[in-house]
Structure 1
């Protein structure tokens, strides 16, 4: 057995990509910092009861579980950082006003989200607590779009939805919990024949509305059609008004599309949901939405909205920049040489000291210049 092999969908990040990911992480956290988002670092491991609070059954299936040798309780390796941040807001910070938090760290999934995905995403995101209005949803969406732009992602496409539309249909239509789950699955795949079969026993108005949802995808005309054709329940009317208002606020930033059958995180989110896509990439590259119920699950109701994305995935969308070359320096006990090296490094230059007794090729060291003694001083020359 080859003991250097890693599990499926788990891989090392090698120097060139590791540097790019770290540089992007720093730039994004700096962006969140100047917008007032404070960095938190939740633990990788928590009790399952805490990790699963308010997240639904799907997250439990994605979570690696272990037994704590100290307490005997079941623990989990986090599959999502957002619930942890909600716990920090609800129980540790315990603030009354608006709180803005951000984070960056690894999460672990029992199975990858796609055939080309990883089971160890590097999740980064921002969350805003304590505000119920659309202003906070729009702030988070703008920050997500800025993040993608900062990462150099081109042709960003934004999809918007609202879970209250489907939720109001099943509640007012008297749909059982089991049937709701089946309809949810069919809507995610836009399987109209299955939706028709599942909804056959429901009232005609409810069935027509459910069958219409997969077709409600597109520009602002979708909202006009939804307003005209869906039942005039207060929740649906308000959801459509919210989506219209967001579209107006994002004019000039992005032209959003609307997908009223999009229910990603349905058991987790409570209002507007959104996803960013990029040309040539099938899966969403950033996800977010409102999740007011999670704080309530922790015993302290706090409205919340946020987004997250995977730095590994974002890296695959970026054109690789040229790898910066360094300066090769000899290994000598020379104070002047050391001062020269320190000065170069303080300016951001990479200086690699060529250790004695271990010859390395210039390609391995990635140096295109060298420090040489010329005219009583150390100078940088091209190799």
Structure 2
């Protein structure tokens, strides 16, 4: 018989000190985004599935829990990503002209974990810029993403860049690969060189130059020098060169940061992202801390196509890789309702102190606080003194 206290696989409770730190991270980052002019929105946890998955591709569909709405009989989805919801708000509800900056924070649920060490419940926080197609918006988003992890205490973050337009240009240039984009993308992401080399025999009509370009893409990863190597190795297709230009512009705009570039790593965003994509890595986390990029046109399903770029991260994962959460200092006070004691308690709490009253006859154990002072009655007055 299963114990009632067991949780489903890949779900976990967050205990006091850690929960407090996650909440402080949430407040800190939302306040940071506000200083950049981002407005906070809060979409619902559940939506009609047609709206929730609009423009996002199959990967998100597999991660989305589905249920039947008892009121309408329609299929609902529990969100697995908040970004499409924010796109809907920008396109349909706000419907503004020009640039809109929106941020958010809320729980998302995955039907299956994204990786072996991943949780299924995430606390997703992020920021999005709508209405500007230029690289300036990408630069601002990258700066804000890097500042987010810096504010959280992450040191030596590494920024990984890619541009799906580079691979897309190579695939689109050869009619023999029509309809095979997802398969080719998977082979490139896994660096499956033998399978890529075998395309010359397995795909009727594929050009030898295309096979060579795909093989070159599989080896184009490393530092910023990859951009120059790609210009020499790959065909001079207009869309491909434009993608490399965008990458170079971003690298030059952020000279103080460490970059890596992998032109073959498409992740799950081949059909979703339209421009530069990025991930932020740091020592202490097994995979990317932050993921983001440009996704123009996703809001077309909501009746208004808009340029868009943004990023998101999971606050639970971010907190888990930081040093152990520190307990806060607190004051112990006796139980009582006398006016002088109540006044002293109120004064201390108004000043931001943590004051824990000990209930009669009860020992107390605190995981989030350490009691280093106590409130005592001394010559008719309530005073705070260090715990002996």
Q: Hey, what does 2:347 align to over in structure 1?
A: 343
1:155-198 superposed Cα distances (whole Å, 9 cap, x missing partner)? 20101100111111111111445522221111111111112123
Distance between the aligned counterparts of 1:273 and 1:308, measured in 2? 12
C-alpha change, 1:100 and 1:362, in structure 2 (3 Å) is: closer
Task: State which drifts further: 228-237 or 320-329.
Answer: 320-329
Task: State which drifts further: 52-61 or 176-185.
Answer: 176-185
Deviation for aligned residue 1:270? 0.4
Distance between the aligned counterparts of 1:199 and 1:355, measured in 2? 78
Structure 1: which 5+ runs fail to align?
none
Deviation for aligned residue 1:359? 3.4
Residues 99 and 129 in structure 1, CA contact (< 8 A), matched pair in contact too: yes
Distance between the aligned counterparts of 2:317 and 2:38, measured in 1? 23
C-alpha change, 1:110 and 1:321, in structure 2 (3 Å) is: closer
Distance between the aligned counterparts of 1:220 and 1:365, measured in 2? 46
Distance between the aligned counterparts of 2:163 and 2:365, measured in 1? 58
C-alpha change, 1:162 and 1:92, in structure 2 (3 Å) is: same
Deviation for aligned residue 1:363? 7.6
Q: Hey, what does 1:107 align to over in structure 2?
A: 108
Task: State which drifts further: 309-318 or 278-287.
Answer: 278-287
1:108-143 superposed Cα distances (whole Å, 9 cap, x missing partner)? 001112222100011100000000000000000000
Residues 179 and 198 in structure 1, CA contact (< 8 A), matched pair in contact too: no
Q: Hey, what does 2:266 align to over in structure 1?
A: 263
Residues 163 and 266 in structure 1, CA contact (< 8 A), matched pair in contact too: yes
Runs (4 or more) in structure 1 with deviation over 6 Å come to: 362-365
Structure 2: which 5+ runs fail to align?
none
The total of aligned residue pairs comes to: 382
Mapping of residues 198-237 of structure 1, within 5 Å: 198-200=199-201, 201=203, 202-237=206-241
C-alpha change, 1:343 and 1:277, in structure 2 (3 Å) is: same
Residues 352 and 365 in structure 1, CA contact (< 8 A), matched pair in contact too: no
Q: CA RMSD in A?
A: 1.5
Counterpart of 1:316 (choices 313, 320, 332) is 320
Residues 129 and 303 in structure 1, CA contact (< 8 A), matched pair in contact too: yes
Distance between the aligned counterparts of 2:367 and 2:321, measured in 1? 27
1:27 aligns with 2:28: yes
Distance between the aligned counterparts of 1:237 and 1:359, measured in 2? 69
Distance between the aligned counterparts of 1:82 and 1:133, measured in 2? 20
Q: Hey, what does 1:146 align to over in structure 2?
A: 147
Task: State which drifts further: 139-148 or 184-193.
Answer: 184-193
Distance between the aligned counterparts of 1:37 and 1:199, measured in 2? 49
Task: State which drifts further: 97-106 or 163-172.
Answer: 163-172
C-alpha change, 1:199 and 1:341, in structure 2 (3 Å) is: farther
Indicate the SS of the match to 1:154.
coil
1:11-48 superposed Cα distances (whole Å, 9 cap, x missing partner)? 11111110000001000000000100000001000000
Residues 362 and 368 in structure 1, CA contact (< 8 A), matched pair in contact too: no
Task: State which drifts further: 281-290 or 93-102.
Answer: 281-290
Task: State which drifts further: 123-132 or 211-220.
Answer: 211-220
Q: Hey, what does 2:84 align to over in structure 1?
A: 83
TM-score for the superposition, normalised by structure 2: 0.95
Distance between the aligned counterparts of 2:253 and 2:51, measured in 1? 36
Residues 269 and 293 in structure 1, CA contact (< 8 A), matched pair in contact too: no
C-alpha change, 1:322 and 1:220, in structure 2 (3 Å) is: closer
Deviation for aligned residue 1:255? 2.2
Residues 37 and 126 in structure 1, CA contact (< 8 A), matched pair in contact too: yes
Distance between the aligned counterparts of 1:244 and 1:360, measured in 2? 59
Q: Hey, what does 2:71 align to over in structure 1?
A: 70
Residues 86 and 295 in structure 1, CA contact (< 8 A), matched pair in contact too: yes
C-alpha change, 1:219 and 1:36, in structure 2 (3 Å) is: same
Distance between the aligned counterparts of 1:340 and 1:163, measured in 2? 62
Mapping of residues 129-208 of structure 1, within 5 Å: 129-176=130-177, 178-200=179-201, 201=203, 202-208=206-212
Indicate the SS of the match to 1:271.
coil
C-alpha change, 1:199 and 1:366, in structure 2 (3 Å) is: farther
Q: Hey, what does 1:244 align to over in structure 2?
A: 248
